[in-house]
Structure 1
Amino acid sequence: MHNDHPETAVNGEPRASSLPPSISSHTFHDTGHPAPPPLPPARKEKHAFVFTGSGSEYFRIWIVNLCLTIATLGIYSAWAKVRRLQYFDRNTQLAGATFNFHGDPKAILKGRIVALVLLAAYHYAFGFSKIFGIVVISFLLLALPWMMRSALRFRLRNTSYRALRFNFGGSLGGAYATYLPILVLFLLPGVAAAVAPMQARWIGGASLLYLAWPVMHGFIKRYQHANLQFGASSATYTASVFRFIGPYFLAFLLAVLSTIVAGIFIAIAMGGIGIFGRLKSHGLAGADIWLAASFMLSIVITAYVFYLATGPYLQVRIYNLVWSHTRFPQVEITSELRAWPYIRLQAVNLLLTLLTLGLYRPFAVVRIYRYRLDHMSVVTEGDFEQLASGEQQLEVGASGDGAVDFLGFDLSW
């Protein structure tokens, strides 16, 4: 007799299922087919950045750019920047593919002309009248956030990787919320000095706002990195703005320590000046030269120690903090710069640049760029080429592209 229920014996007792343990009856859908097994986690792959350029190659580009910029009274500087960015992008490799820059030099030139006009207007505004100065400051507060956002869009939209463009999706409201407080921070002390030159308390009170700069710097980086786009993917940024306080505080402590060290050098130099002064009173030839050399050397050492103890250290901490908290879907970015090796590198670069009267500058730029790339990597969940090929370029309407071409420009130098 045929049994309509194969899992039940004829006498009513349950019978062991003939299915293997890995496919039990509860894994069946309503269709009667077993559910597919869960997919294994994607294998993570680490990809390092590689820079294929050299200091000697960049030196040839740099010296030509410098000569043509001087010969054209600065006009060629826009074309020089495009050549520089193209050289570094085209020599930067990631997972076997290179970056590229497609910016129009005329847009960069337009931005620099606007920046020079605004700088001149700000510098001479209060020389005409206080009312004219306030009008100029008000215009700067309204225009500069929009211009900063436009510059970010220009830079990213003209950068590509694997034939896909980067983009910046930050809103105009976000630009004003980010940059307007910073503009007030930097413009208010000068305005207070111009409007009420004898009111020291107003100037001092406005200057105290600089203590808020670390948090404001955090807001800048959050606005920039949280709105990065590549193809149709948008970045996420997880670093708190208050995490910028720690690096700035440690940099301040290093600045105090460097000031003490520099003070020791100055004291030694002043002691030498006293000795040379007594020797000069006895008719020693060349004492004036030694006096001037001792004083200048103390000043150089002071500035040198102060810069190395603050600038490079802060750059490393901020760079690691920002990039290690920026990621795209299935793509993590890590930055592991080390402070003391970077400080030593910057110290050698600065010294060689001074000794060669600036000719070592292109070699120093290449060394810094390569050091940063050597300590950065990208970790992907799965094959990088498949992830990149699955991306689609974010479509932007024709009116949006036209606005960027007509109004977009770059303010940086």
Structure 2
Amino acid sequence: MSIAPDVVSAAAPPAAAPPVVPAAAEPAPAAAAPAPQVHVPLFTGSGKEYFRIWVINLLLTLATLGLYSAWAKVRRLQYFDRNTQLAGACFDFRGDPKAVLRGRILAFVLLVAYQYAFGFSLQVGVAVMAFVMLAMPYLLRGALRFRLSNTQYRGLWLGFGGGVGAAYLAYLPPLAVFLLPTVLLALYPEQPALAGAPFLLLLAWPLMHGRARNYQQRHLLFGDQHSRYELSAWRFYRPYLIAGLSLFGAVIAIGMAAAFGIALLEKKSLGAAAATFLPMALGIVIAYISYLMAGPYMQARIGNLAWSNTSFPGVRIRSTLPAKGFMLLQTKNAVLTLLTLGLYRPFAVVAVHRFRLRHLQVEFDEGFEQAMARAAQGRRNAAGDGASDALGIDLSW
């Protein structure tokens, strides 16, 4: 007996409703990366304050026949560091003046030996030149370590980690350019042209300068953070070429001035003394003006190249020093220093320092405090870092 389909349908339990599947939540938008924090260093000192320090340093240095110059250097560095602020905190310098004095005495001994060594004998002269060439790269490295390892910021010490071998590779070639001609002239006095051969290496001087600057910038330390430097030494050729062309123009102008004086002398329109003095005076003025053009230009362009390619983990440096503005500033400083018989010098130093800082930016990718915390993870002992380099030779860079 068959069962009707509608009876079966009535008796069967109702079908379960399909489960409700909640709609997938849309992913939250990723948080935007924080914008880098940019800080510009600030100098809080003044020319009037530094003038008082400069005068006292000068008088005491003269009164002590130069011995106080080591303490004067430390006072100068402390004044500028302690008045240089970055993100509201100041730098500080803690160098020992006695270490600076020892370094300067050694530098004076080497200079005297370099000047008079060949007056004793050929063998003594060659030995002294060899010693100077072997000692200078080590001393230059020590000067960098002394200056930086005695500088601190927010309780963290700066430092320099370049090796001795790399120092010799960086500094020996330029030293050879200046020292080898003296040695060759002493060894072969009958062939003076041979002594000029090392000066052909001046064609590679921009490359030598670039390699030396590479050594300096690549091994900077802040806390336990090591610097990075990404700039080819060949990039130094362009500023040198432009500065060289300007100096070449000055040489031509000096030659024209000399020819003008000779012409006046031949025509006897002026006295012999006046005709001789005039081209010399014009030549000196033109040479000094050329220096004021080429020197600041080189400092601005090479400084911008070097510092804008130097960075630390999460920290970038930008230098935008304008060459034209820097040349005008240095020209003004030179004129006022001459007119005041040197008394404007401390004001000029402050003006240059403030101008440099105004065109320097430090960029922190993750924020200033995060960068400080990262640098503080492995605090170095500055006393131990600088103890092996007790010589503090004053080499400004």
Q: TM-score range by the shorter chain?
A: 0.7 to 0.9
Q: 1:199 aligns with which of 191, 202, 206?
A: 191
Contact 1:239 1:325 in 2 (8 A): yes
Rg larger in structure: 2
Contact 2:170 2:211 in 1 (8 A): yes
- Give the aligned partner of residue 85 of structure 1: 77
CA apart distance, 1:81: 0.5
1:59 aligned to 2:35? no
Q: 2:237 aligns with which of 242, 245, 248?
A: 245
CA apart distance, 1:89: 0.8
Q: 1:381 aligns with which of 362, 365, 378?
A: 365
**CA gap 1:297/1:186 in 2 versus in 1, 3 angstroms:** closer
- Give the aligned partner of residue 24 of structure 2: 19
**CA gap 1:203/1:220 in 2 versus in 1, 3 angstroms:** same
Give aligned pairs, total: 380
CA apart distance, 1:132: 1.4
Q: 1:359 aligns with which of 338, 343, 353?
A: 343
CA distance in 2, matches of 1:99, 1:131: 48
1:2-151 aligned within 5 A: 18-22=23-27, 40-151=32-143
Q: 2:288 aligns with which of 304, 312, 331?
A: 304
Letter in 1 for 2:191: Q
CA apart distance, 1:155: 0.4
**CA gap 1:179/1:394 in 2 versus in 1, 3 angstroms:** farther
CA distance in 1, matches of 2:329, 2:232: 29
Letter in 2 for 1:309: M
Letter in 1 for 2:308: S
Using structure 2 for the length normalisation, give the TM-score: 0.88
CA distance in 1, matches of 2:30, 2:180: 60
- Give the aligned partner of residue 3 of structure 1: none
CA distance in 2, matches of 1:316, 1:54: 23
CA apart distance, 1:202: 2.0
SS at match of 1:392: helix
CA distance in 2, matches of 1:201, 1:119: 25
Contact 2:67 2:101 in 1 (8 A): yes
The alignment yields a C-alpha RMSD, in angstroms, of: 2.6
CA distance in 2, matches of 1:355, 1:266: 27
CA distance in 1, matches of 2:126, 2:270: 57
CA distance in 2, matches of 1:76, 1:393: 39
- Give the aligned partner of residue 283 of structure 1: none
SS at match of 1:93: strand
Percent of aligned pairs sharing the same letter: 48
**CA gap 1:247/1:124 in 2 versus in 1, 3 angstroms:** same
**CA gap 1:176/1:269 in 2 versus in 1, 3 angstroms:** same
CA apart distance, 1:204: 2.5
**CA gap 1:39/1:188 in 2 versus in 1, 3 angstroms:** farther
1:371 aligned to 2:355? yes
- Give the aligned partner of residue 218 of structure 2: 226
- After superposition, the C-alpha distances for 1:166-203 in whole angstroms (9 at most, x for unaligned) are 01011111112211222222211111111112223422
CA apart distance, 1:15: 8.2
CA distance in 1, matches of 2:263, 2:332: 28
CA distance in 1, matches of 2:384, 2:225: 22
CA apart distance, 1:135: 1.5
- Give the aligned partner of residue 26 of structure 1: none
- After superposition, the C-alpha distances for 1:30-69 in whole angstroms (9 at most, x for unaligned) are xxxxxxx866423211111111111111111111111110
Letter in 2 for 1:228: L
**CA gap 1:341/1:271 in 2 versus in 1, 3 angstroms:** farther
SS at match of 2:162: coil
- Give the aligned partner of residue 3 of structure 2: none
- After superposition, the C-alpha distances for 1:325-347 in whole angstroms (9 at most, x for unaligned) are 00111111001111111111111
CA apart distance, 1:130: 1.6
**CA gap 1:39/1:125 in 2 versus in 1, 3 angstroms:** farther
Greater mean alpha carbon deviation, residues 103-112 or residues 210-219:
210-219
Unaligned ranges ≥5, structure 2: 1-14
CA apart distance, 1:293: 6.3
Contact 1:164 1:393 in 2 (8 A): no
- Give the aligned partner of residue 6 of structure 1: none
Letter in 2 for 1:383: G
- Give the aligned partner of residue 334 of structure 2: 350
Contact 1:316 1:337 in 2 (8 A): yes
CA apart distance, 1:266: 4.8
- After superposition, the C-alpha distances for 1:85-136 in whole angstroms (9 at most, x for unaligned) are 1111111111111111111100000000001111111221122122112211
- Give the aligned partner of residue 32 of structure 1: none
1:183-194 aligned within 5 A: 183-194=175-186
Greater mean alpha carbon deviation, residues 171-180 or residues 80-89:
171-180
- Give the aligned partner of residue 260 of structure 1: 252
Letter in 1 for 2:180: L
Letter in 2 for 1:191: V
**CA gap 1:394/1:266 in 2 versus in 1, 3 angstroms:** farther
- Give the aligned partner of residue 9 of structure 2: none
Contact 2:157 2:380 in 1 (8 A): no
CA apart distance, 1:272: 6.5
CA apart distance, 1:402: 5.0
- Give the aligned partner of residue 307 of structure 2: 323
